[in-house]
Amino acid sequence: MITSLRIKNFRSYGDQSFEFEAGVNIVVGPNASGKTNLLEAILVLCRGSSYRARDIDLVQNDQEWARLDSTDEQNQTRVVKLQKQGEKIDKTFEIDEQTRKRLNFAQTIPIVLFEPNQLQSITTSPSQRRLFIDDLLSQIDPEYSKQQRNYERVLAQRNALLKQKPQDAAQQLFVWNLRLSEFGAVIANKRQAIIETINAKFTNNYQEIAGSKDVIALAYESECQLDQYGSSLLKRLEATISEDLQRGFTGNGPHRDDLLITINNRPLLQAASRGETRTILLSLKIQELLMLEQSRGLRPLLLFDDVFSELDGVRRKSLTRFLRNYQTFITTTDADVIAHNFAQTSKLIML
């Protein structure tokens, strides 16, 4: 739990301090007042990086550095320093005065972020659907981020070779095909496993929030055979070398896979209304919250960026039952819409 935060030269903030409560903190202000920037600062403190920008974009344009200082309920301190070095950023972290260049898995604080772009991403963008699963896995599995970097590094090397179009392409690509199929199988198998875990309670969460009997499910979609992903991917990489050479990139693997969301066995795009889509995403976020808490042994922080007001009264009421037990930050332009749902259990932060 974060009890205080001081922000200096970060995004729209010159020098501003905040005090937070253990429950729901409602951040109120007009558009462009810095509400999202405040959530972004919290996420950088907890996870080490932004969800929407490069490190250099976090420092105000006319400044050479930015700094975030926080304390928790045990009076432990956490500091992030961002120092411009030409076109790059030197980033350091201090936890109880111990300095390090990056946060290891144990030093991160789990975060569940719910922001407006996610409402569109689950219906229009396969890359964003993959990102949801990958982000959840990176917060649960201490090895997953490393394994994903291994895959992306080999993928980049294979793509670079494809662009060169060597005469003996098949021979040169063979070693990269082997490594890509090996790393790809690790990624795909872990994605499939976590989807099975999500599905175990996905429908129950949805029905509780929506007050309906609809059945919701996730499925992993790939051109590869799911139960033998590594060998299947290797065969496809070998069989599609000509196509890959022509287009200059790798057309098969976890970076091309997708997640299918269904409602009553029908694809989300065909069957769900806008309200049902919001509720499905909200159900995913609640499942993410519960899985993070179980796996990490501590309660995640919840960041709700200007989305609470888009829910109808029934869904708001259902959601508040989950939020009361977690430190939550909700941004809004209309405090009355949110404060009404939490009575005396929330803190208003006016920007």
pLDDT tens string 247-297: 999 999 999 999 999 999 999 888 888 778 888 888 898 899 999 999 999
At which residue do the structure tokens 């769900």 appear?
272
* Extended beta strands in 96-194, E state: 98-100, 111-114
- Residue 71's pLDDT is 96
Q: DSSP 3-state helix, strand, coil percentages of the chain (rounded to 5)? A: 50, 25, 25
Q: Using the predicted structure, report yes or no on whether residue 104 has a pLDDT greater than 80.
A: yes
Model confidence band, residue 118 (pLDDT cutoffs 50, 70, 90): confident
- Residue 343's pLDDT is 61
Q: Lowest-confidence range among 196-200, 301-305, 343-347? A: 343-347
Q: Using the predicted structure, report yes or no on whether residue 124 has a pLDDT greater than 90.
A: no
Interstrand relation of 2-10 and 258-263 (parallel, antiparallel or unpaired):
unpaired
Q: Lowest-confidence range among 3-12, 170-179, 236-245, 325-334? A: 325-334
- Residue 340's pLDDT is 72
CA angle, 332 as apex, 326 and 337 as ends, to 5°? 85
| Sign of the alpha-carbon torsion through 5, 11, 13, 15 | positive
Q: Using the predicted structure, report yes or no on whether residue 211 has a pLDDT greater than 90.
A: no
- Residue 258's pLDDT is 95
Q: Using the predicted structure, report yes or no on whether residue 127 has a pLDDT greater than 80.
A: yes
- Residue 263's pLDDT is 93
CB within 8 Å of 309: residues ≥ 6 apart = 332, 333, 334, 337, 338
Q: In this structure, are residues 122 and 129 in contact, taking their beta carbons and an 8 Å threshold?
A: yes
Q: To the nearest whole percent, how much of the chain has pLDDT over 70?
A: 99
Q: Lowest-confidence range among 36-45, 147-156, 280-289? A: 280-289
Interstrand relation of 301-305 and 328-332 (parallel, antiparallel or unpaired):
parallel
Q: In this structure, are residues 239 and 177 in contact, taking their beta carbons and an 8 Å threshold?
A: no
Q: Lowest-confidence range among 26-40, 188-202, 284-298, 321-335? A: 321-335
> How many C-beta atoms lie closer than 10 Å to residue 309's C-beta?
15
- Residue 42's pLDDT is 97
Model confidence band, residue 99 (pLDDT cutoffs 50, 70, 90): very high
Mean pLDDT of 234-259: 96
- Residue 117's pLDDT is 81
Summarize pLDDT for 299-330 with one digit per residue, the tens: 999 999 988 777 777 777 777 777 778 999 99
How much is the pTM?
0.89
At which residue do the structure tokens 């875990």 appear?
197
Model confidence band, residue 344 (pLDDT cutoffs 50, 70, 90): low
